[in-house]
Amino acid sequence: MGEASKVSRYLYTVLILFIIWMFLTSSFDPQELVMGVIFSLIVGALTYEVFTEKGLANLNPRRIAYFVAYIPYFVWAMIMANLDVAYRVLHPKRPINPGIVECKTTLTNNTGKLVLANSITLTPGTITLDIKGDRYFIHWIDVKDESVEGASESITKPFEKFLKVIFE
């Protein structure tokens, strides 16, 4: 998928900046809203080129629905990760079995790859070490499968089905 038109990218940047402004001021006073629109237009004009590639196409309802479904899934994975850390830290024998494994991903979009790397870092027992093209090098605290396919199955697969829809 190529880049969207400049107008669509600009409007999308302004929209996101304005939402952040609303959260930061947390008031619906018309004076504040007008100043927010003005500042969003200025900052958007300076930054839209680096901010987004697809523009308003990101606001597709299917993408938003998958994104909303992704949030509780991700928070649940994070809480499981922390219980896993708690078990490893508090257990007297310190049951770790670390190593660096390699995974493949089917995502092609750069933002999608970034979000996948962040999700991997915050989920049970894995942290992203480096990304080269579609190969992820991951430090796994408890290596169960050394092969590329097996590691991808248990690390990247669960997130890909969401991120594929959100970012591709």
Q: Which residues bind another protein (CB under 8 A)?
A: 20, 22-24, 26-27, 78-79, 81-82, 85-86, 88-90, 94, 96-102, 117-118, 121-122, 125, 127-130, 132, 135, 137, 139, 141, 143, 146
CA 164 vs. chain centroid, Å, equals 11
Nearest approach in angstroms of CB 4 to another protein is: 23
Residue holding tokens 């400049």?
A: 6
Q: Which one, 27 or 31, has the nearer CB to another protein?
A: 27
Q: Which one, 2 or 29, has the nearer CB to another protein?
A: 29
Q: Distance from first CA to last CA of the chain, Å, rounded? A: 8
Q: In the chain, where do the E strands start and end?
A: 99-104, 126-132, 135-140
> Contact at 8 Å (CB) between 167 and 54?
no
Nearest approach in angstroms of CB 95 to another protein is: 11
Nearest approach in angstroms of CB 30 to another protein is: 17
Q: Which one, 2 or 149, has the nearer CB to another protein?
A: 149
Q: Which one, 4 or 16, has the nearer CB to another protein?
A: 16
Q: Closest by alpha carbon to 141, among 57, 84, 67?
A: 84
Token reading at 12: 């999308």
Nearest approach in angstroms of CB 140 to another protein is: 9
Report the distance separating Cα 63 and Cα 162, nearest Å: 9
Q: Which residues of 16-49 are buried (b: 16+ CB within 10 A; e: fewer)?
A: bbbeebeeeeeeeeeeeeeebeeebeebbeeebe
Nearest approach in angstroms of CB 117 to another protein is: 7
Q: Which one, 109 or 121, has the nearer CB to another protein?
A: 121
